[in-house]
Amino acid sequence: MFQIKQQLKNTELDAVSKEFVKQLLRWNKTDNKRQMPWKGEKDPYKIWLSEIILQQTRVEQGLKYYERFIKAYPAIKDLAEAPEKDVYKLWEGLGYYSRCKNLIASANYISRKLKGVFPKSYEEILSLKGVGAYTAAAISSFAYNYPYAVLDGNVFRVLARIFNIEVPIDSTKGKVLFSSLAQTILSIKKAGEYNQAIMDFGATICKPLPECAICFFKTQCSAFLHGKQQLLPIKSKRISVKERWFNYLILRHKSKIAIRQRLDKDIWQNLFEFLLIEDNIKTSYKRQLLLFQKTYDAKKIKFNIEKDTIHFKQRLSHQIIHFQIIKGEIPVITPLPEDVIWVEASELKKYPFPRTLQQYIQGQI
């Protein structure tokens, strides 16, 4: 507590925080119009599902996925018993597929080891795969009203502005400071209601470009009083972006196409793709042909003309993936790596592919 007060300089932490919590809860009851199907939900399975989906996903995009998952898997045993391929297919387009992998693993764990009963303590929830401190606090407070403060991007932003904190939120010092502050000002008796309210406030009013004109706390917000609301919160680290070149071969034999599953610990793990050769530079058409022939020992492949080569790219959070696609036909199926399977072209839509490849399949195959 003393350390927080030192960091906040002359801010009267107790008085400001109590007044903020009081006004925030009042705003939540009278003016918070943000509607989401999981708000007020007490089923920990549904809360957990919504939180995993919303990790690194906008609410507007995640909403339809949440509704699809609840319809397909209304209870955790339904999710645990579902074929993995079907779950990944339902997840298709959300990105960050490790979340789906962890979702499946945790559903299986709860169904088999815990006999289908969702964990009821913060520590047990935190131990689930894919669940960090924020998600555990959200599930604990929303389902059981346990006194654990959530700390996501919205909350970081609100706290940094209300208390005029210039410590970078992505620094070790900042993470400790904000975590302690969030827990300090938490409304213990109304933890779930408070947590939802502060996230909604950050999403609708104290946005990256804040709506200060309609903010109920602007006359007491330290950042607003110092004209610094658009400068906070502060981040110290810059994200380095890696570029990768994925050269795909769409290899046909009559009506079938060769695909493989990505099993390595990398992006799109467990999704499917065409035959791939990755390069660290943009590859010429002739080099692609040589690489494919050498890698797959496919000298009998009849490649289409260079005009059929297709180029496009997809930006991920820390990567830019450049796609180069060429097409080839083979009169007789020759030995290919064991992980390659032949699928009817009309059946490709049943397999989970990365979003960009799925869009390509819908438009070109």
Output the pLDDT for position 253.
86
pLDDT over 60 at 110, yes or no:
yes
* pLDDT for the residue numbered 239: 73
Joined tokens for residue 358: 């799925």
What is the predicted pLDDT for the residue at 306? 45
Q: Is 51 a catalytic residue?
A: yes
Measured CA distances, 310 to 45, 167, 323, 353, 360 (Å)? 43, 46, 8, 18, 10
E strand or H helix at 235:
none
d(CA 82, CA 86): 7
pTM higher than the cut 0.85:
no
- Encode pLDDT of 20-57 as tens digits: 999 999 999 999 999 888 888 999 999 999 999 998 88
Structure confidence at residue 305 (pLDDT): 45
- Which pLDDT band, with edges at 50, 70 and 90, does 297 fall under? low
Q: Which pLDDT value is given to residue 29?
A: 94
Predicted confidence (pLDDT) at residue 307 exceeds the cutoff of 60: no
Peptide bond into 335 cis (omega under 30): no
Instruction: Write down the pLDDT at residue 309.
Output: 62
- Taking the CA atoms of 30, 32, 37 and 38 in sequence, report the sign of the dihedral they define: negative
Highest average pLDDT, of 14-18, 232-236, 317-321, comes from: 232-236
Q: Tell me the pLDDT band of 1, cut-offs 50, 70 and 90.
A: very low
Query: What structural domains does the chain harbor?
Result: 2-225 (1.10.340.30), 242-364 (3.90.79.10)
Residue 300: the pLDDT is 61
Specify the long-range contacts of residues 285-293, CB closer than 8 Å, at least 24 apart: 285/309, 285/326, 288/247, 288/249, 288/324, 288/326, 289/326, 291/247, 292/247, 292/249, 292/326, 292/328
Q: pLDDT per residue over 88-104, tens digit each?
A: 999 998 888 999 999 99
Does 7 have pLDDT greater than 70?
no
| pLDDT of 291 strictly over 80 | no
For the chain, the average pLDDT equals 88
Q: Spot the catalytic one: 41, 51, 84, 124.
A: 51
255-286: pLDDT as tens digits: 999 999 998 888 898 899 999 988 877 877 77
Convert the pLDDT of each residue in 127-154 to its tens digit: 999 999 999 999 999 999 999 999 999 9
Task: Categorize the per-residue pLDDT at 249 as very low, low, confident or very high, splitting at 50, 70 and 90.
Answer: confident
DSSP string computed for 157-217:
HHHHHHTT--S-TTSHHHHHHHHHHHHHH--GGGHHHHHHHHHHHHHHTS-SS--GGG-TT
pLDDT beyond 90 at 8: no
